[in-house]
Chain A
Amino acid sequence: MSINWYKYASPASFYFLAGRMIPYFSIAAIVLLIIGLYIGFFVAPTDFQQGEAYRIIFIHVPAAWMSMFLYLVMAFWAGIGLAFNTRLSSMVATAIAPTGAMFTFIALWTGAWWGKPMWGAWWVWDARLTSELILLFLYIGFMSLQAAIDDPRRADKAGAVIALVGVVNIPIIYFSVQWWNTLHQGASVSVTQSPKMAASMLVGMLIMSLAAWMYSIAMILMRTRVIILERERHTAWVAELKGAAR
């Protein structure tokens, strides 16, 4: 039995596939969120240096990770859409941007509200913070550029260019704490070394990251479906949906 991968490349069939998948990702996000928050606030101990303020980590780090990860995924799909002229790929890239921008804002906001008690400042022009702010402007730039162009296909191409150019900012954010002498701390979690965090703190943070990931998938699938409907409203299969309405 050979799998026809391209079946779901068409917006029409992807529309129904995504519709069936969204509930599973939504439920996973909610369950993981509850577990993560429970561990974060009721299991993880008090930090010997920061006391209770460190508990912001359970929303700050997942949001920061998602802001970088979603940008890469957005640039990937934008690039595929540009290279192969596949409408659905560009629609997915367009659907990712708002969620990525939101997580970037959350990372900046929670970082500032964590920095104020710990560093004594809401904001410092530190390498990590500044490059994350640039990431926010890149997301906003992508969204406004696409909104400024009427023809969706041309907007996709223009968006793809800005998305791909902006990819260079992601390693800058990630390695900023090593390349420059930053106020922001270095990476506490790495795939190569053993973790430098208490187990329960680490587990809480990882579960919250999974929750953020499930949430992002559910949100992006929902937004992709709406974009599909908006762009394909003149097609037969959408008309058939309409037909079912009467």
Chain B
Amino acid sequence: MIWNNWSEFFSMGGYGLYVWGSYLVSFACIAGEIWLILNRRRTLQKYLGLRDESTIREKK
């Protein structure tokens, strides 16, 4: 195992700021994009008066 303990893991060989700064912002962007699209979909469904379409069988 590369890391002996968690604090060593978070210090990331002294580059912790840069590594975690990169990862946190990247995952914040991804989480933000997911939230935006779900929010856009919810407001649209409310506006169009659709129920959650998973309960609507595709018509054959």
Contacts and interface: CB of A to CB of B under 8 A. Distances in A.
A245 B50 contact: yes
B51 A226 contact: no
A19 B53 CA distance: 9
B33 A117 contact: no
A241 B56 CA distance: 8
A181 interface: no
Given A53-B13, A114-B18, A222 B41 contact: yes
A226 B29 contact: no
Given A51-B15, A240-B59, 18 more contacts: A41-B2, A45-B2, A46-B13, A52-B14, A52-B15, A52-B19, A59-B23, A99-B33, A114-B22, A219-B34, A225-B41, A226-B41, A226-B44, A229-B44, A241-B48, A242-B48, A245-B49, A245-B50
B33 to A, nearest CB: 6
B37 A222 contact: yes
B22 A110 contact: yes
Interface in A45-72: 45-46, 51-53, 55-56, 59-60, 63
Interface of A: 16, 19, 41-42, 45-46, 51-53, 55-56, 59-60, 63, 98-99, 102, 105-106, 109-110, 113-114, 116-117, 215, 219, 222-223, 225-226, 229-230, 233, 238, 240-242, 244-246
B48 A238 contact: yes
Given A45-B2, A99-B33, A233 B48 contact: yes
A238 B51 CA distance: 11
Interface in B23-47: 23, 25-26, 29-30, 33-34, 37, 40-41, 44
A77 B11 CA distance: 44
A106 B37 contact: no
Contacts of A42: 1-3
A56 B50 contact: no
Nearest to A223: B37
Contacts of B49: 242, 245-246
Nearest to A111: B22
A109 B20 CA distance: 12
A60 B51 CA distance: 39
Contacts of A55: 12, 19
A113 B22 contact: yes
A34 to B, nearest CB: 13
A56 B12 CA distance: 11
B21 A113 contact: yes
A219 B36 CA distance: 11
Nearest to A58: B23
